[in-house]
């Protein structure tokens, strides 16, 4: 089976984008496609596969997000920015659009050829200063769920994060991601504040089960927590991730994620190992 696709990335978060309006693949097939084609070295490689489908509730289109392990995610902030650009450039949407998702509607806007802004799902749950027992010590975390059903995020302060090798906090990220206190598990966003007011962030993503170069909803959750706790005076909050910089405008309960997009590859998947 030949599958047309675009490879895109935003702040280093990379995606395989397919037009399921044309392909007509089932959810089970999309899950298998993600699991096989997102695997690096042996196929295209990506953090997430995004499939565009027909709108269900008056939006411009519906986007389904599949992690590299084949599990379906509620939404993806950087993925929404990339798929907004894809939809605009194939004529599926105008410069302002509404992307439907499991977690709810996501308004998106084209600011320039490569810069896109999306309004993340508003926080439905916010719990501050939760004390967890991890690796024999107490860890204080904040918990945020964006949308309904919510995308779960932990926000964890980690001093000197910019100088910290990810291998040294990999086990901690994994333990927090799977902590029994959170029924759905959680993405884990470590952060530190720099003197210039910028934020450093490193995210361990569920579904990918590793650190990624960026996580849009994680960045939004981190900016929300810092804003609510009065820890950063800046708005937009500028967040330095491994893949570059993202900005988040926090306007009450409304979160706007802004950043660059990049179309990397346009082609056809002919992977002979595909089993759909």
Q: Are 199 and 191 in contact (CB under 8 A)?
A: yes
User: Nearest CA to 87 among 68, 63, 58?
Assistant: 63
Q: Is 187 annotated as a binding residue?
A: yes
Q: Tell me the per-residue pLDDT of 200-241, one tens digit each, with 9 for 90 and over.
A: 999 999 989 999 999 999 999 999 999 999 998 889 999 999
pLDDT of residue 145: 96
Residues 6+ apart with CB under 8 A from 268: 2, 3, 4, 5
**By the 8 A CB rule, do 218 and 205 touch?**
yes
Q: Is 261 annotated as a binding residue?
A: no
pTM, two decimals, is 0.93
The predicted structure's pLDDT at residue 37: 97
Question: Does 218 count as an annotated binding residue?
Answer: no
Instruction: Provide the annotated active-site residues.
Output: 76, 215
Phi, psi values for residue 80, rounded to 5°: -65, -40
pLDDT confidence tier of residue 195, bands split at 50, 70 and 90: confident
Tell whether omega for the bond before 204 is within 30 degrees of 0, i.e. cis.
Answer: no
Position 276 scores a pLDDT of: 86
* Helix and strand counts by DSSP (H, E) for the chain: 5, 18
pLDDT value of position 149: 87
Question: Does the annotation flag 67 for ligand binding?
Answer: yes
Instruction: Please give the domain boundaries of the chain with CATH numbers for all domains.
Output: 3-119+261-269 (3.10.310.10), 123-252 (3.10.310.10)
Structure tokens at 203: 């995210």
Q: Residue 255 contacts by C-beta under 8 Å, 6 or more apart in sequence?
A: 119, 120, 122, 123, 146, 220, 223, 224, 248, 249
Q: Is 78 annotated among the ligand-binding residues?
A: yes
205 is annotated as contributing to ligand binding: yes
Peptide bond into 10 cis (omega under 30): no
Burial grade of 41 (CB within 10 A; 0-12, 13-18, 19 or more)? exposed
Predicted pLDDT at 101:
95
117 is in an annotated binding site: no
Q: What is the pLDDT of residue 121?
A: 93
């Amino acid at each position: 089976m030949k599958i047309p696709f675009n490879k895109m990335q935003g702040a280093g978060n990379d995606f395989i984008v397919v037009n399921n309006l044309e392909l007509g693949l089932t959810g089970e097939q999309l899950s298998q496609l993600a699991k096989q084609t997102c695997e690096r070295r042996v196929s295209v490689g990506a953090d997430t596969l995004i499939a565009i489908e027909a709108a269900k509730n008056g939006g411009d289109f519906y986007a389904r997000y599949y992690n590299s392990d084949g599990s379906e995610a509620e939404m993806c902030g950087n993925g929404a920015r990339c798929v907004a650009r894809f939809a605009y450039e194939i004529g599926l949407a105008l410069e302002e659009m509404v992307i439907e998702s499991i977690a709810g509607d996501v308004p998106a806007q084209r600011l320039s050829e490569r810069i896109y802004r999306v309004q993340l799902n508003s926080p439905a749950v916010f719990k501050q200063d939760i004390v967890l027992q991890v690796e024999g010590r107490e860890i204080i975390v904040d918990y945020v769920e964006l949308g309904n059903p919510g995308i779960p995020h932990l926000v964890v302060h980690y001093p000197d994060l910019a100088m910290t090798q990810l291998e040294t906090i990999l086990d901690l990220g994994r333990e927090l991601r799977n902590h029994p206190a959170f029924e759905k598990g959680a993405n884990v966003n470590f952060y530190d504040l720099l003197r210039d007011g910028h934020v450093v962030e490193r995210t361990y993503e569920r579904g990918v089960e590793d650190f990624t170069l960026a996580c849009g909803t994680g960045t939004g959750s981190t900016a929300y927590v810092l804003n609510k706790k009065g820890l950063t005076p800046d708005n937009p909050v500028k967040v330095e991730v491994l893949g570059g910089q993202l900005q988040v405008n926090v306007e009450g309960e409304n979160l706007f994620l802004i950043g660059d997009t990049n179309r990397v590859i346009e082609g056809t998947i002919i992977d002979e190992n595909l089993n759909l």
